[in-house]
Amino acid sequence: MKSLHNYDTLNPTRKGEMTMAETEKSRLGAELTARQVTLEGDWTADEARRILAVFERLEALSDSDSAALFNGQPTVLQHSGRPGRVGRTLGGRVILDADWTDWTLAHELGHRWNNAWGRAPEQDLRTALRAGRLEWLKRPLRWFEKGLERLLRKLGIKARLDWPALWYHPGDAPPPCGSDRNFNSSEDLAECFASFVFPEDSKSRAKNAAKKPVKPAAHWDWGRQHTGFIQTPRGQFLSRQFKATHSRQPSQPRKR
């Protein structure tokens, strides 16, 4: 697969004849490589610039360099080459579709951060906010609900089964941007991460989510009580987590 920072090697006939655009690509690749980030696939210089800007914003807000933040582990950003705005994270690999947004990248980096620390951050979040109550019971019931919906669809019955009572419980504070039946502790952590990087987007998303005609939504608009995400209980949790990063060496085992 093509890597951005290997542009010269991939184009040997033009080596030594780099245009301004190629020089910019090379610079961006070097900046990302310094952060242990590799780009695979057909990324444009503008996309690489956006990616670097998200990492720089994250570093500034968390007061931590990327290498330390991700536990000294490399991160691969893969361009899927297919249309859509979806992102997926598998271990240290983040896969983004062609129409990805900066929010999507920040969200997937939240999953990447969680994975880098053995998913301890999401467990710590649940504990700190007493989230995920009765999840041992609710999770299998949500699976049953979705399975029953698929079965009914095969039988020609178009029905959406979605009982808010089975949704993941956000605990003692509003979720970052609302909730639905796909929300869980991993998504909670990733949405918190994206909200920390883009608090204004999160505030708007939470306000819109609070308009949903479901009972839990009445408590989702955290902007009514807090000026910014960092002031929310979840924002404060992330601030503490990022500060703790400074006191740990990369790959240092967590004391549980």
CA dist., res. 166 & res. 187, Å (int): 16
pLDDT of residue 7: 42
Q: Is a pLDDT exceeding 70 seen at residue 236?
A: yes
Mean pLDDT of 220-238: 97
In three-state secondary structure terms, 91 is coil
pLDDT of residue 23: 85
Quick one: pLDDT band at residue 3, thresholds 50, 70, 90?
A: low
Cα–Cα–Cα angle for 95, 101, 105, nearest 5°?
A: 45
Cα–Cα–Cα angle for 3, 113, 164, nearest 5°?
A: 120
pLDDT of residue 19: 79
Q: Is a pLDDT exceeding 60 seen at residue 250?
A: no
For 164-216, write each residue's pLDDT tens digit: 999 999 999 999 999 999 999 999 999 999 999 999 999 999 999 999 999 99
State pTM to two decimals.
0.88
Mean pLDDT of 54-66: 95
Phi, psi of 131 (to 5 degrees): -90, 165
Helices (H), 63-134: 66-69, 102-116, 120-129
pLDDT of residue 251: 57
Domain range list for the chain: 4-118, 121-136+167-246
